[in-house]
Chains A and B, each alone.
Chain A
Amino acid sequence: MTTSAGILAFHTREAVKVKARVSAATLHRRSQLAPSDPPPAEWRRFSVDPQITTFEVLQNLLAKAFDIKGDFTIHYLAKDDEGKETYLGLLSDWDLDAAFLSSSMPCLNLLIDLKPFDEGLEGWDVITPADLVKPPLVSHVRNNAQQTGNFLMQQMERTLKSFSKVLRGPELSGYLNGVTERYRASKPPMSRREWQNFLDCEGRLIQPQELRRSVFRGGIEPSLRNIVWKHVLNVYPDDYTKDQRIQYLKRQSNEYYKLKATWTDMQKQGIVTEEMQYIMNMVSKDVLRTDRTHRFYAGSDDNKNVAKLYYILTTFALNHPSVSYCQGMSDLASPMLVTMNDEAQAYICFVALMQRLKPNFNINGLAITEKFAHLSLLLQHYDPEFFEYLKMNGADDLLYCYRWLLLELKREFSFDDALCMLEVLWSSLPPSPPEKELPLYEIRFGKDSAHPQSPRVLTRENPYTKVRRIRKQSSSSSLLCGTPKVHNGVIVNEPDNDESRRSSLNEITDDSQDYNPISDSIAHELRMDLENLNKTVLGNTKDATPQQFTFDNIIEEGNTLLENDGPWKQRKTCQGFCGTPDEQCELDFDSVEGETTQNHGSRRNLSCQSSLDRRRSGSSTSASTSASSHSDLVQEKADDSDYEDDHHAYRSKAPPTRSEGYCSEATLSSKEVSCQEDSRSVLDSGVLDFSRKSRSLLPPPGQLGGSNPFMMFLCLTLLLQHRDVIIRKRMDYNELAMHFDKMVRKHNVHKVLHETRIRFEEYLRLGWEASWEELV
């Protein structure tokens, strides 16, 4: 009752006093930039009508009041439950409503922060709030009764929602706080200061591996994400200086706007091809269903950010006919736009991400099928008991993990947590910067573009033929009768065998009316398939196809590094150099940093074994014995003589310049330890922590999950964190699938990352290099 009374009271208020000031940090920066400018007076006071003041109006008012030319962010002072005062972000109408409602008595206290980002971008077209057409205030005043009614209803709904959130809050947050404390990352998120340590004097990124390791361990401070993400996502070619990066981003942004203009102009002229129509329809439907509960995309369907997401995805689809648009892409592009808060830059980042993720959207489904197979292998390896339970319930097909695999778990965590999880995941991958510039299109879309339309669009004309075609390529029945060739857990498409597969398929599919599944459910069918996979994996590890990626044995790397004084020593970092206020300031404004280092091949891990090694040395995980416990991996003594062989084989064959590191915690925590001593002693004693057995059971890092091993381990962690409750409640297929559906956006990111890092670490320490040497 008090709730509704509060709302009514709020809605009868005609004016809210506002008090605003510019943050001290901004003032400091300003005075350094242009010392002649007098710092603006501290406070501005005015009143607004809460009924008609939108976020945009407020922005306008503030821009005028403080004479702000660039972009800025607004925070408002709010009191939490314990009466503690904190500044909360004010980014949308939604936030403004909340601010009016909760924090406007006796007055709304605002803090303005000018984004350093834009000031560093001279020559950019910065659209300031002041440039925007001012909302017609008069018309607001003239709002008729009905509109006001609607507004009130909306207001009520929102308020009730936020209240119910608050009500659910305390017990949950209490629990989460405890968990969070326990699973906090081993390192605080990367700060601006730390970031600068990875750059040389000209702003070149000189320690890309170190950068990734740092992000892997602790994530990135939110305010720094728009800078560092571009590096971790492989947007920049190697070795770009800060200036080069700015120029590059400008070029790429212009390019994006050209690509966008091509089809939007066509649309304006009424030229809409079938392909365009199809994509535009699909995308427009989906952006209205993507992260709309996040304040950035919330509110009416006219939300500008929703429109930006639409432009990004449509431009991408038209210019990438091999994948076009596919559901799921909007989920992947959304965090880019929120983080970059710039349409063109978000597009560039999305393109960079899709370089890696395109296969997932391939119509043949092979990439995802392979990931399912690998996840199944991991589960069997790490928790055979749970796997057996799933099998008994026909749930070992793991189809309920489909969304995890396609969206790289983006939707399994709350939006902000997902940002952290994603950056950790991306930084676990070896850097792969574009050789020259990142191509923003596959085939440039245009009015006269005669390029073949995307298969997705083409086949829509006759979807039935496509369905047939897909079945022939990769249907579960094809998996059933013609077991796909599997090399060490990798499903290989065999064009040569097409004919034979087709004929065997026809036997099954042609009389589809009479088709009776061999098993009583598709789960069983897939199970057979998985078993086939396993057999092949177990039996044929030596036939593995050449690996695309190499994986540096961390330990070996560390050792080589110490012997050779690795290449990163050739460059000086600007530690200490960046310290003067001026440079600090300039670097602060470095909105556009570059993924750099020397060439890809010569990059290496700055790594050596840490105390983690010591703790674990002499033991290894084993598939056959890790029977019952999912978290406590049973350890068994490694076979020393085997190890010695591998070890020597590797040492003699491994080229010293070999690169690539999947990030792992052990490689990170090594600095403090005496690297040389530690890693050598581990190596020489021959009690290194790995097991040939495990190695032969699991695909190597370069193949696991389509070269994304960390993601596979994240999925494994999600499964294992719920295995107890699933078994205890004896959940059947549907129940456990629903259980995971209900966990959407609710997994605890710290706990999941913490456990995953440990397991991933164990896995990486299985000595893949040696295994690889054997196979070659």
Chain B
Amino acid sequence: MSYAYLFKYIIIGDTGVGKSCLLLQFTDKRFQPVHDLTIGVEFGARMITIEKKQIKLQIWDTAGQEAFRSITRSYYRGAAGALLVYDITRRDTFNHLTTWLEDARQHSNSNMVIMLIGNKSDLEGRREVKKEEGEAFAQEHGLVFMETSAKTADNVEDAFINTAKEIYDKIQDGVFDINNEANGIKIGPQQANTSPGGGNPSGNTQSGGCC
């Protein structure tokens, strides 16, 4: 499958906030209440379309427990986008955001787009973190913010695609050096030879794990 660009994402956040479920919902359009806990990192991919361009998202879903970070820290590097996830029903996962953010900023390239995600929005009754708090945090740190539900799929698609749009805009603005793969962006194999304006005719968002 040819693509105009490839963006690399990482998903980070405390353990049990629903990182793997977000990924599964995005790549496979399903929710699996019983699943394995992630060890190290797991991998996913999906094609999306932005401004008629095929974009391949490569997503690395990391383990939440800190102990893994001595190994998984390296995953930050070479990522164009990050989804920083907390659980709206667990305040501690919100409180740890600063740490995650510092960690991410320190180990990633400075242009990485970070999307803040308050997950489990379907569990309104157990909410511990107000939506406004998430918004405020995002604003303070210059992040994009969304509340999602990996269970109902609410906003999941948008979370990934909006992040991609932001990265795409940054490319258009010349912020990203697309020739440096350390930025987590790759030009598609065929695109590299054709003129940059040449849009990909094939249309809609496609799903499917491996291409």
Contact = CB atoms under 8 A, between A and B. Distances in A.
Interface in A620-665: none
Interface in B34-63: 34-45, 58, 63
B209 A365 contact: no
Interface residues of B, number: 43
Nearest to A400: B43
Interface stretch (A45-53, A73-81, A403-411, A694-702): A403-411
Contacts of B157: none
A364 interface: yes
B174 to A, nearest CB: 18
A402 B66 CA distance: 15
Contact of B45 (A293, A525, A738): A738
B74 A522 contact: yes
B51 to A, nearest CB: 23
A327 B15 CA distance: 10
A406 B63 CA distance: 13
B135 to A, nearest CB: 24
A580 interface: no
A82 B153 CA distance: 42
A331 B39 contact: yes
A470 interface: yes
A56 interface: no
Given A327-B65, A402-B41, A369 B71 contact: yes
A11 B68 CA distance: 47
Nearest to B73: A475
Contacts of B180: 520
Given A407-B39, A516-B182, A522-B74, A326 B15 contact: no
Nearest to A278: B92
Interface stretch (B99-107, B121-129, B162-170): B99-107
A402 B71 contact: yes
Contact of B66 (A328, A460, A525): A460
Contacts of A427: none
B78 interface: yes
Interface residues of A, number: 57
A512 interface: yes
Contacts of A361: 67
Contacts of A282: 15, 65
Contacts of A475: 70, 73
Contact of B68 (A327, A471, A735, A741): A327
A471 B75 CA distance: 14
A522 B40 contact: no
Contacts of A735: 45, 210-211
Nearest to A331: B39
B37 A286 contact: yes
Interface string A388-400: 0000000000011
B129 to A, nearest CB: 17
Interface string B186-211: 00000000000000000000000111
A285 interface: yes
Interface in B71-118: 71, 73-75, 77-78, 96, 99, 102-103, 106-107, 109-110
Nearest to A729: B210
A522 B106 contact: no
Interface stretch (A351-359, A461-469, A762-770): A461-469
B74 A289 contact: no
B16 A411 contact: no
A292 B34 contact: yes
B181 A521 contact: yes
Nearest to A405: B40
B67 A363 contact: yes
B69 interface: yes
Contact of B73 (A330, A406, A476): A476
Interface in A429-473: 456, 459-460, 463-464, 466-467, 470-471, 473
A267 interface: no
Contact of B39 (A406, A464, A526): A406
Contacts of A330: 37
A513 interface: yes
A261 interface: no
A526 B99 CA distance: 25
Contacts of B73: 467, 470-471, 475-476
A205 B110 CA distance: 62
Given A521-B78, A734-B45, A467 B69 contact: yes
Given A512-B106, A521-B181, 11 more contacts: A282-B15, A289-B34, A289-B36, A293-B34, A406-B40, A456-B67, A467-B73, A475-B73, A512-B107, A515-B106, A742-B209
5 contacts: A365-B71, A463-B99, A464-B103, A512-B107, A516-B182
